[in-house]
Structure 1
Amino acid sequence: MLEQARQDAQSPWHEGELAMQRSVGVVERMDGPGRNFVRKAMPEQHRAFFPMLPFVVLGAVDAKGDVWATVRAGHPGFLASPEPELLDVSLARDPADPADAGMEDGDAIAMLGIQLETRRRNRLNGVIHRREAKAFQVRVGQSFGNCPQYIQPRSSAFVRDPDRGTALQPLRSGRLDDRARRMIEGADTFFVASYVDRDNGERQIDVSHRGGNAGFVRIDADGVLTIPDFPGNRFFNTLGNFLVNPKAGLVFLDFATGDMLQMAGRAEVQLDSPEAATFERAERLWRFTPEEIVFRPDALPLRWSSFNRDL
């Protein structure tokens, strides 16, 4: 019965993801997990998980076609699932957030729910239905879980009401300044958004977590980031998207201050770079060239404390 259901289900993988899976010889092995675990509705565990969260990671595409990753916070319960195919999101519009421009009615969106203290994470993507400025609903296109690999455990606490924003203004630039470089070079965590437009006309956005020991992202003199790709679940959502559409959005957080560094630019996957050998455990590399940079001081009302555990 389960085998028949697997055969009847449609494979979720697009050509970029399949190309990445071919590069490591796992296309046939990943066919079953794709059909079984990438769902069109949230399982009960996910429906119970999202309402517990004090923040969510989002990926959205603006009118120019640039993709942005962002983090938004709210009191637990600001995410709720009235039905397995729906997720209600109680978040007000935020003009300071460049990702907000891609959150209109009918826009595609990606979401990552991540609980750093337990290292649980679940992802979904879908389409926004918006009737008001203070909230929207997402109809699920894909929903699936991820393993806890490379997540640095942290506990969080609110330092102000999440409905009250900061008075500090965002700073926009086309190049990385010293502050941004320090933020990236000291990071053990960031989030990345990517997207493809499928053959059926649907836009599919993904946002995911990347983690390693502090300093795992390198910055060249020209501001290009070199990022190792460690062994994972072989879904290759992010790198597969890059093969089809090289646009990328990255967000780095300062967990101690609530500062946020958001960047939109272009990514290049390097399957056979000899430089990969200089990164411990890396299977391949990808490079990111920032084109638009937004630094948002005190953007988040949360502060995190690390458990100081190496990955």
Structure 2
Amino acid sequence: MGAPGIYHEGSRAVQDRAGVRDLADHVGRAVGDGIKPVAAAFLELQPLLVLGAAAPDTGRVWASPLAGRPGFVRATGPHRMSVSGGLRPGDPLTRALATDGTPVATIALDPRTRRRMRLNGQLRPTEAGFAVAADRVFANCPKYIQRRESYELLPERAAGTPTRGRELTDAQRTFVASADTFFLATAHDGHAEVSHRGGLPGFVRTDSAREVSWQDYAGNAMFLTLGNLAVDPRAGLLFLDWTTGTTLQMTGEGRTEFTADGERRVRFTVSEVIETPGAVPLRWSEPEPSPANPPVTP
């Protein structure tokens, strides 16, 4: 596929502002539409997949987790990924998984190896769950991924009743402030992206009950996510308690602020919040921080 086919005007604008267009073109050449054998083998080992999409009924963008015994996600062809099972009842993307042709983005992240793989495409509902016809497949570097050596699958863990709100409670603000990882979904012009963000606890700030912000650390120079936000502010955030399985999902709008010293900060305004106790039946071991994590600045 190559760089010209994956970058739109938003990504190009951010790349140019950061002075990394040539690097982005180089990195972009690694993006394809096929699932290579090494990627297929990686997928079959994963107990967690994060999905990003716009809900077809509201247009709001969300990020949602899917979990299961390894093998629930697998490549069933050179351009097709299949997923058995579905989202918890009431998840905001449930209708998206039942709608043929929904543009979706997925990320499989393995804390054990600090590897991650992204696959985007068009969704097709199936009897067992859903499949994605891939149009963009690529891996990212291990930067900012906290290592977790092992996990337990807890099939007896049942999701609690979700609580919904229009702003973050004090307890939810504490949850966000203590997080070392979250997932960020965006969308633009019939395509979706979902990416990982990581850092030391405190790297995400809750500036108010309606605003969350974080410094955008140096990455792969592609700026697919910030490029989407530059032209379409819709976004969804997913925070996960890696021990209890509780999830905190937010939808709203994001914007990127550029400082005179070249740093970037993303500010996210909350429209809706969903907290679900025990939503993910996985319990991971304690984290080992990534050596790439910068110090948290006030």
Q: Larger deviation: 231-240 or 22-31?
A: 22-31
Structure 1 counterpart of 2:132, which letter? Answer: V
* 1:25 and 2:12 aligned: no
Alignment-derived partner of residue 11 in structure 1? 5
What is the alpha-carbon distance in structure 2 between the residues aligned to residue 15 and residue 23 of structure 1? 12
Q: Is the 8 A contact 1:11 1:31 kept in 2?
A: no
**Of 58, 80, 105, the match for 2:74:** 80
What is the alpha-carbon distance in structure 2 between the residues aligned to residue 39 and residue 186 of structure 1? 36
What is the alpha-carbon distance in structure 1 between the residues aligned to residue 123 and residue 54 of structure 2? 12
Task: Give 1:159 shift.
Answer: 4.8
Alignment-derived partner of residue 50 in structure 2? 57
Cα gap change, 1:144 to 1:173, in 2 (>3 Å): same
Structure 2 counterpart of 1:46, which letter? Answer: A
Q: Give the alignment of 1:40-51 within 5 angstroms.
A: 40-51=33-44
Task: Indicate the structure (1 or 2) with the bigger Cα radius of gyration.
Answer: 1
* 1:136 and 2:130 aligned: yes
What is the alpha-carbon distance in structure 2 between the residues aligned to residue 80 and residue 153 of structure 1? 23
Q: Give the alignment of 1:155-234 within 5 angstroms.
A: 155-161=149-155, 166=158, 168-197=160-189, 203-234=190-221
- Secondary structure of the residue aligned to 2:176 is helix
Alignment-derived partner of residue 115 in structure 1? 110
Structure 2 counterpart of 1:124, which letter? Answer: L
Note the residue ranges of structure 1 that are not aligned, 5 or more in a row: 198-202
- Secondary structure of the residue aligned to 2:254 is strand
Task: Give the structure-1-normalised TM-score.
Answer: 0.88
Q: Is the 8 A contact 1:16 1:243 kept in 2?
A: yes
Structure 2 counterpart of 1:259, which letter? Answer: T
Task: Give 1:101 shift.
Answer: 2.4
Task: Give the structure-2-normalised TM-score.
Answer: 0.92
User: Once the two structures are aligned, what percentage of the paired residues are identical?
Assistant: 40
* 1:260 and 2:250 aligned: no
Q: Give the alignment of 1:275-286 within 5 angstroms.
A: 283-286=263-266
Task: Give 1:183 shift.
Answer: 0.6
Q: Which runs of 4+ in 1 moved over 6 A?
A: none
Note the residue ranges of structure 2 that are not aligned, 5 or more in a row: 294-298
**Of 82, 94, 99, the match for 1:100:** 94
The C-alpha deviation readout for 1:25-68, integer Å capped at 9, x for no partner, is 2223322332x211011222111110110111110211211110
Q: Is the 8 A contact 1:60 1:100 kept in 2?
A: no
